[in-house]
Amino acid sequence: MKGFLSLLIVGTHLRAFLAVSESVPLWIRLSSLLTPLALGLYFFFSGFGLMTQMKMKEERLPDVQQEERWRGWLPRRLWGLLKPFLFFFILSFCFEYVSQGLHTLSWESLGSKLINVVRMSRYGLFRYPPTAWFLVELMVLYVLFFVSFRWIRSKRVGLLILTLLIGAFIFVIGRLDFPTFWLRYPFVFALGAYYAYVEDKVYRNLIRFLPVVVISLIPLGWWYVKGTQGLTSLDPTPWSQAITFFLATNILPLLVVMLSKRFGLTDFFMRKTTGWWRKALLFLGDISLEVYLLHISFVYLFRGPTIYIHSTWGYILVVYACTLLGAYLLMRYCKRLVRA
């Protein structure tokens, strides 16, 4: 799932670099349409995974004190996100000089770019690489998760605290005029944690009203499609459309996970332990972080001042090929540098 979603995100950023006069392939259009949902699923699985691991650790080590169970948890989690961020910060910095021409490299330009990085980061924008906002927001959510459950034994109370803290976080970054994508997904993280806590109960209740759930996909899908169209529009997005898009991107990940379980899609993938397509999906899952952080450098590189691929299909295929090959090589030979 992670590998497939990372390919969608590559397609979305490719479309941003296609000229208005260029014919946009169907895959790129679908990528742009599905990327907000893909990011919602990323955040949902992150919250779901943290809560599931916490429950499993409590079941496996019931006699261990809570303080011991949480020892070193937060530093490990944060370093697991910070280390790849630092690696790709340096790598994308180097890519930019290759894209603009090595003759532009100087101490003055280095200092200017670093100062610009600090200024932009105050508004939630990152240049090296631009996709790093995802890791930074996850770091904040990990801290909020830790604060919510470290000293609280009741998971219900912890989930309530997590929801309130996320609400406060959204309020603060909204006041700081961060881009809207910062505001869109934190509650999906909390929803994933809640679903992991009461998965069976939520699943049974939703299945009881399965026809209603399926019918609800129609308005949610409509709100979602209208919202994605608004992302590329130059006109201001109406508040009503922004709110309905927010609801759709927060609710659809839960329904996608639940319906895939109900109709056997989850079991189908879990049973298929052999086959080239499963190996391909597992391979993409293994390198999904590298794909996510590396691809944007190639997106800039192959339509930059030094190298410019005019062919639409040539540009798309070269970016995908270089991204997958580069991600594989980094995972194979530089894993200790990239991953914590």
Structure tokens belonging to residue 210: 């399965």
Q: What is the pLDDT of residues 287-340, one digit of tens each?
A: 999 999 999 999 999 998 889 999 999 999 999 999 999 999 999 998 889 988
Categorize the per-residue pLDDT at 74 as very low, low, confident or very high, splitting at 50, 70 and 90: very high
> Could you give the 3-state DSSP secondary structure of residue 303?
strand
The H or E element that residue 202 is part of is helix 199-208
pLDDT of residue 168: 96
CA dihedral 244, 194, 252, 11 (to 10 degrees): 100
Q: Is the pLDDT of residue 64 over 80?
A: no
Q: How far is CA 271 from CA 117, 203, 264, 275, in A?
A: 46, 21, 10, 11
Half-sphere exposure of 189 (CA within 13 A, CB side): 26
End-to-end CA distance of the chain: 22
What percentage of the chain carries pLDDT values higher than 70? 96
Output the pTM of the full model: 0.90
What percentage of the chain carries pLDDT values higher than 90? 45
Residue 17 sits at φ, ψ, to 5 deg, of: -100, 5
Q: What is the pLDDT of residues 14-45, one digit of tens each?
A: 998 888 788 889 999 999 899 999 999 999 99
In angstroms, the CA 289 to CA 327 distance is 8
Looking at every residue in the chain, the average pLDDT score rounds to 88
Q: Is the pLDDT of residue 273 over 70?
A: no
Q: Is the pLDDT of residue 155 over 60?
A: yes
Q: Is the pLDDT of residue 232 over 80?
A: no
pLDDT of residue 272: 61
Q: Is the pLDDT of residue 63 over 60?
A: yes
The tokens 């990528």 sit on which residue?
A: 31
| String of DSSP letters for 62-87 | TTS-HHHHTTTHHHHHHHHHHHHHHH
Q: Is the pLDDT of residue 144 over 90?
A: yes
Q: Is the pLDDT of residue 6 over 70?
A: yes
Q: What is the pLDDT of residues 88-118, one digit of tens each?
A: 989 988 888 888 888 788 888 888 888 888 8
